[in-house]
Structure 1
Amino acid sequence: MELRQLQYALQIAAERNFSRAADKLHIAQPSLSQQLSKLEQELGVMLFQRNTSSVELTYAGQKFIEQAGVIMSAVEMLRQEMADISQLRTGRVVVGSMPITGAHLLPHVLPAFKKNYADVEITLLEDSSMNLEKLTASGQTDLSLLSLPLEIPNLSYEVLGDERIDLAVPPEHPLAARFGTGIRTSLAELKDEPFIVLKEGQGFRKMTMDLCREAGFVPRIVFESNNMETVQSLVATGMGVTLTPHFIARAPRSEFVPVYLPLAEPVPSRTLVIAYRRGRYLSKAANAFIETFKTTIAALSAGEAR
């Protein structure tokens, strides 16, 4: 049994698809299938049930993946500890990120980090918050940018800061006239509005639903998307309203831009965190990345306060 075979099995389990797993591993699909068959023959059990449309773990596969994750995490921690002991400034940090949140924050974080740690390799992995939690818990990322609450219990985290939640409305919407007036909109005023939200599995969708329910209504959803930028563009063209994290609202990138309004007290917010597997050894490079992220978030928030 080889370590790379464990890595291959973990990736297939994460993707539930040989083609996607091969792409992520940067190997040919026939080679991946060959290595898995070789591993299954050595073990004497089938790890995956191959169907025409999906790949599912067998009972033996579930047990194997649990232990393979522990082994690969231990191997990576050993590498990191040895690198730190040798006091090398080189290393590698695998960072998971929610796509749109990362797109607005990482361009500030990465240049600052690379300036001080030029020889540390950063590998980015983008996915939904639900999948990122699973990848982090299994040790496939060293760190992941997420927001509270976390659903998986065996994750630890460092708080980066709180991010205000804003309201996005079409430019011609009656509420848009409040922009710059200091008049704030309460969530309860939106009970009859059509909402555009992210699809199931995205953490911010759950936050939107929870905030609306706390305000006394269930939002009337007219469109759903996997992409936050698409949500913003649909709002801008008059299809509905939505709630938006402030770091996204402060730097819209689409040609279709809604009007962003601060909400009334108590202003809703989300807490951004850097999460990692509980008990995982964090290398000096990983800790430096966390500190750089904290400093960057603080600087951005301070700039907003001026």
Structure 2
Amino acid sequence: MDIRHLQYFLEVARSKSFTKAAQALHITQPTISKMIKSIEAELGVVLFDRSGKQVELTDAGQVIFSQAQPIVSAFEHLSAELGDLMNLKRGHLRIGLPPMVGASFFPRVIGSFHEKYPDVTIQLVEDGAKKVEADVENGTLDLGVVVLPTKSEIFHHFSFVNEKLRLLVHPSHPLAGRSQVALPELSGESFILFREDFALHDRILAECIRAGFGPRVVYESSQWDFISEMVAANLGIALLPETICRELDEARVCTLRLVDPEIPWHLAVIWHKDRYLSFAAREWLRFTRDLLSRKRGARAKE
């Protein structure tokens, strides 16, 4: 049995399907079935219960699964480190970005990085910050952008945005002429929020409850521009970051300062403390930190 056998076994265990595992590994199903049977014959145990619609690990399979994961992980780390030495700045990055973050901050970063390192490919995955954080934790993503605070015991991070949420209302709304609004004043309003897999969803709900009321949520969306359009259609109010509010048409949507309390919107790039970072990932972090800090410095002088 070699490392490839263990890699194939782990893929079947995760996908619970020989067919899906074969597709993920770009091999035929008979090949992967034969390899699993050879492991079972070598060890003298049955690794998978094949009687249901999905294959499930047997008790013996569970033991092998728990032991195989660190072995394969160590081998992949070794291969990655050797690849760095041999290929230097070649590589592949998997980066998670919340939708409203990607368009506002990263096109220039990614474009400049690609210009300098054309042999490094970047896979961008758009998801809410909570999903991005979970995928960096489980290794599906190398790096991700999240809303702070994050799990300091698990992740390293660097912060690059420190803003606050602003209130969006329709120009005909009674609050539209105000310069600022206290959060408790919104207790009777209809809220338009991001979906539950976005960190701002939980943050806004928690702050409203702390302010003494449970918000009446009438719509939820994954797109900030759709949320702003619903406010422009007078379907409710919303809370969005300052960066997003700067992009809005003031004739169609009014933005006001939110106080008592202010709700922070702090963004950071995170990566796992206990996982190997490829040369490409380390260089992307250095490059991005430098570029975003210069951008933030330039904005502060405006």
For Structure 1 versus Structure 2, the TM-score category normalised by the shorter chain is 0.7 to 0.9
How many correspondences in the alignment?
A: 289
Deviations, residues 208-227 of structure 1 (Å, cap 9, x unaligned): 11222232322111112233
- Residue 206 of structure 1: CA displacement? 0.7
1:5 alignment partner in structure 2: 8
Given the alignment of the two structures, is residue 264 of structure 1 paired with residue 266 of structure 2, yes or no? no
- Residue 103 of structure 1: CA displacement? 2.8
Instruction: Report the aligned-residue RMSD.
Output: 3.7
Q: 2:287 aligns with which of 262, 283, 292?
A: 292
Which protein has the larger Cα radius of gyration, Structure 1 or Structure 2? 2
Change (3 A) 1:95 1:59: farther
Given the alignment of the two structures, is residue 88 of structure 1 paired with residue 88 of structure 2, yes or no? yes
Name the aligned partner's letter for residue 116 of structure 2. Answer: N
Given the alignment of the two structures, is residue 239 of structure 1 paired with residue 235 of structure 2, yes or no? yes
Deviations, residues 27-86 of structure 1 (Å, cap 9, x unaligned): 69xx5x6676556544533379966xxx79757677776666545544443343224334
Contact 1:99–1:127 (8 Å) recurs in 2: yes
- How many percent identity over aligned positions? 28
Q: 2:34, 2:202 → 1: CA distance?
A: 42
Contact 2:47–2:57 (8 Å) recurs in 1: no
1:107 alignment partner in structure 2: 107
**Aligned pairs (5 A) from 1:6-45:** 8-9=11-12, 12=15, 25=24, 41=37, 42-43=39-40, 44-45=46-47
Name the aligned partner's letter for residue 8 of structure 2. Answer: Q
Q: TM-score, normalised by structure 2?
A: 0.77
Q: 1:172, 1:118 → 2: CA distance?
A: 50
Unaligned 5+ segments in structure 2 are 41-45
- Residue 251 of structure 1: CA displacement? 3.0
**Aligned pairs (5 A) from 1:123-162:** 123-150=123-150, 154-162=154-162
Deviations, residues 164-187 of structure 1 (Å, cap 9, x unaligned): 222222232232334xxxx22222
**Aligned pairs (5 A) from 1:65-76:** 70-71=70-71, 73-76=73-76
Contact 2:91–2:121 (8 Å) recurs in 1: yes
Unaligned 5+ segments in structure 1 are none
**Aligned pairs (5 A) from 1:119-268:** 119-150=119-150, 154-178=154-178, 183-252=179-248, 258-264=253-259, 267-268=262-263
Contact 2:182–2:261 (8 Å) recurs in 1: no
Deviations, residues 186-237 of structure 1 (Å, cap 9, x unaligned): 2222121110112222212111112222323221111122333322221221
Q: 1:220, 1:290 → 2: CA distance?
A: 40
Change (3 A) 1:6 1:155: farther
